[in-house]
């Protein structure tokens, strides 16, 4: 190779190197962006999706910070960290979010789930196929024998996870609908135990009546039917949320607002990033299937996020400008 060719080659390499450094330094926020990595699969997966887009597309450095709804919202509002909570169930932190908005320290950027988070009572689809007149929770009063367990003359209803607000609400709703006359309300004891009970019955095609939430891997893997309930009426429903409610009323579950929460630095100093985060939104069924893929393939949240970025580009590329999307796609293996 001649000296002139080597010189040109070296110069080109330097230009590329400088260009790469410039791209890496292009992040609007001149600090590492902390992202809350919640303890449940959907939140952690979305955190990794946003991290990869911020790093590869916006040239930012990111860091995951363990968290949960109340703790994360508290530190964001009061301390400005972490910068982003990708999946905050806002109904559990209403006062904190209001405080953040009032003080100008934290803001809701957007709705992560277009239909909100789902709490409901379910039965497997094969139950409905065998008994098509079952459409609502009231209909189950006539079919409690389907859900009987040995040694009892009542059916079994699997309640929510101990300690969750939905456990109290489900218990009260069973009484309000009069189903506690026909069903024993039981607790599986934990999320894993509830999943195990549902899957075990499903695989043996045994009728099971249970509470569950979405989005979730279980609803993505198994064909379940959400039972109709009366509309949620906040004006008359407050007692249903109380552990010692004496007069619960027939109602449904409120649709849970699930938001992206950001601190003021993102909103005020990083408008492009804020605009991206405001557009992040999933259909519940998309996340159900994504989490099911993760379970079926023993994939961790990072691997599930990468699968999403590779396989569903029509969704996430709408959240960012084309040049940002192109940078992310170029980095996907």
Q: What is the DSSP string of 297-314?
A: TT--HHHHHHHHHHH-HH
The first and second tokens of residue 311, run together, are 């396989």
Those residues whose C-beta lies under 8 Å from the C-beta of residue 284, and which sit 6 or more positions away, are: 113, 114, 115, 118, 214, 215
Does the structure show a pLDDT above 80 at 7? no
* pLDDT, tens digit, 9 for 90 and up, residues 276-325: 999 999 999 999 999 999 999 999 999 999 999 999 999 999 999 999 99
C-alpha–C-alpha distance, residues 86 and 219, integer Å: 21
For residue 66, what are the CA distances in angstroms to 35, 73, 157?
A: 9, 12, 33
Give the bridge partners for 33, in sequence order.
62
pLDDT of residue 9: 41
* Mean pLDDT of the region 199-219: 96
Query: What 3-state DSSP class applies to 30?
Result: coil
Residue 20 has pLDDT above 70, yes or no: no
Report pLDDT for 271. Answer: 97
Q: How confident is the model at residue 11 (pLDDT cuts 50, 70, 90)?
A: very low
What strand order describes the sheet that includes 62-67?
62-67, 33-38, 84-89, 258-263, 106-111
More confident position, 62 or 17: 62
The pLDDT value recorded for residue 6 is 40
Query: Which is it for the CA torsion 189, 191, 196, 199, positive or negative?
Result: positive
**According to the model, what pLDDT value does residue 91 have?**
80
Give me the pLDDT at residue 101, please.
95
Return the structure tokens found at 88: 């905050």
Cα(147)–Cα(31) distance, rounded to whole angstroms?
56
More confident residue, 91 or 317: 317
Q: In what order do the strands lie in the sheet with 224-226?
A: 183-186, 155-158, 209-214, 118-124, 224-226
- What band does 13 get if pLDDT is binned at 50, 70 and 90? very low
Would you place residue 103 in the very low, low, confident or very high pLDDT band (cuts 50, 70, 90)?
Answer: very high
**Structural domains of the chain ordered from first start:** 28-114+256-331 (3.40.190.10), 118-241 (3.40.190.100)
CA 118 vs. chain centroid, Å, equals: 10
Contacts with 21 (C-beta within 8 Å, 6 or more apart), sequence order? none
For tokens 């008994």, name the residue. Answer: 131
Statement: residue 165 has pLDDT above 90: no
Measured CA to CA, the distance from residue 109 to residue 112 in angstroms comes to 9
The answer to whether 293 touches 125, Cβ cutoff 8 Å, is no
pLDDT for 35 equals: 98
Q: What is the pTM for the complete model shown? A: 0.83
β-strand pairing of 155-158 with 224-226: unpaired
Q: What is the pLDDT of residue 286?
A: 96
Whether the per-residue pLDDT at 4 is higher than 90: the answer is no
């Amino acid at each position: 190779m001649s000296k002139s060719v080597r010189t040109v080659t070296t110069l080109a390499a330097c230009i590329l190197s400088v260009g790469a450094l410039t791209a890496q330094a292009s992040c609007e926020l001149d600090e590492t962006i902390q992202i809350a990595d919640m303890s449940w699969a959907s939140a952690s997966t979305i955190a990794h999706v946003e991290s990869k887009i911020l790093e590869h597309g916006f040239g930012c450095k990111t860091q995951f910070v363990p968290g949960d709804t109340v703790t994360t919202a508290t530190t964001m509002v009061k301390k400005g960290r972490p910068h982003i909570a990708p999946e905050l169930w806002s109904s559990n932190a209403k006062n904190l979010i209001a405080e953040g908005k009032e003080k100008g320290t934290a803001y809701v950027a957007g709705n992560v789930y277009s239909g909100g988070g789902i709490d409901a009572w379910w039965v497997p689809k094969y139950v409905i196929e065998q008994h098509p007149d079952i459409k609502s929770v009231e209909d189950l009063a006539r079919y409690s024998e389907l859900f009987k367990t040995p040694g009892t003359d009542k059916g079994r209803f699997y309640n929510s996870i101990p300690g969750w607000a939905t456990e109290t609400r489900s218990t009260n709703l069973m009484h309000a609908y009069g189903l506690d006359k026909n069903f024993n309300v039981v607790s599986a004891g934990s999320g894993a135990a509830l999943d195990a009970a549902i899957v075990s019955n499903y695989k043996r095609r045994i009728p099971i009546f249970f509470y569950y939430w979405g989005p979730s891997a279980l609803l993505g893997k198994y064909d379940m039917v959400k039972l109709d309930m009366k509309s949620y009426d906040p004006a008359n429903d407050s007692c249903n949320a109380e552990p010692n409610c004496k007069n619960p009323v027939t109602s449904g579950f409120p649709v849970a607002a699930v938001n992206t929460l950001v601190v003021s630095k993102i909103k005020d100093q990083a408008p492009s990033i804020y605009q991206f985060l405001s557009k992040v939104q999933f259909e519940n069924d998309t996340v159900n299937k994504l989490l099911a893929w993760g379970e079926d393939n023993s994939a961790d949240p990072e691997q599930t996020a990468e699968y999403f970025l590779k396989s569903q580009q029509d969704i996430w590329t709408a959240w960012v400008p084309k040049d940002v999307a192109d940078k992310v796609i170029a980095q996907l293996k």
